[in-house]
Amino acid sequence: MKNWIRYILLEHTIWVILAAVFISFVLFVPNFLNWRIISNILTHSVFIGVLAIGMSFALVCGHMDMSITANMAFTAMVGAVLAGTGGSALGIQLNPFLSLIIMLIVGCIVGFLNGLIITKFKLNAFVATFGTMIVVGGFTTFFTKGQAVTILPDFLTAVGVLKIGRLPLLVWITLGLYIIAIILVGKTKLGRYMYAVGGNPDAAYKFGIDPNRITLFAFMVSGFLAAVAGWLLIARMQTATPAMAGDMLFEVVASCVIGGVSLSGGRGTILGVLGGVILLSMFRTALNILDVSVYIVEVIRGILILIAIIIDSLKIRFQSAAANIVQ
């Protein structure tokens, strides 16, 4: 019974923490249950949430995509420049709608190149994608000359202002992406292959799974979702700037780790990632309402990540101990 309770707490920690934090904020943060505040929390979760899905694909496979936010900014600027100028920025005539397709394709290409570099040259994913982050960031500045794009066609920005019911369309799109990802990772053969590659790539290869192909797929998904996040972000902002990524990378990684995705690969769920995204967004909103210093906010976020890493370590120890008992 004791081991069962420990297992439940370790495997579903994010939801225990989320429930406790939510109750605390309801009790101590003024008007926290106001619908406008709840809507703000969910809207803020959109961009980090979409990026976190892509990051979790890479992490489950045992890698990390440090370039995901730079890719988001780059693809967003590509789409904004092409859509805003009708292609004249490149000396061509382009249907504005095609700019969105090109934007998504560019995101996939960056992800593919990441996966190719990692699999073919056997480079550490952290180092390789960190290099890609710098290169893509440089391309973004070069491509835009550091200028923002403020004139965008309605079709590109409409999702940022439309609502379905009382929630922004952005939230519903993100929820749809999470449902697809949960099914893909948790219910399909491809998802099982990802966990196998992240847990032990050599063993996965012996069982007929190609780790390189799975890794390429994971990074292409990460690149595609970076482009989707870029589209949703410029739709929300109604403008595009080269520096729009800000410090999102920290929150993306934090959401995944807090949500239970292991940095060592092979463990974690997309549903847990969603919990991590909502938790961080809830913290940011509540602390802003309480007018807490931004420096204290950073300390709290750091503590949350440390707790998540400790919990991940405890999971590994508990699972190893359980396996030894079975043997």
Model pLDDT, residue 157:
87
pLDDT at 173 over 90: yes
Lowest mean pLDDT among 53-67, 118-132, 220-234, 277-291: 277-291
Residue 3 confidence (pLDDT) above 70: no
Has this prediction a pTM greater than 0.75?
yes
- The single-letter DSSP state of residue 269 is -
pLDDT digits (tens, 9 = 90+) for 205-214: 999 999 999 9
Per-chain mean pLDDT for the chain: 88
Q: What is the model's pLDDT at position 326?
A: 44
- CA distances 255 to 131, 182, 293, 309, Å, are 23, 16, 21, 12
Contact partners, residue 327, CB within 8 Å, separation at least 6: none
The pLDDT tens digits of the residues spanning 117-143 come to 999 999 999 999 999 999 999 989 887
pLDDT of residue 224: 98
How far CA 96 is from CA of 88, 150, 152, 235, in Å, comes to: 11, 15, 10, 15
Identify the pLDDT of residue 142.
Answer: 86
Query: H or E element: which one contains 167?
Result: strand 167-168
In the chain, domain spans: 43-244
User: What span, in angstroms and rounded, lies between the C-alpha atoms of 40 and 167?
Assistant: 10
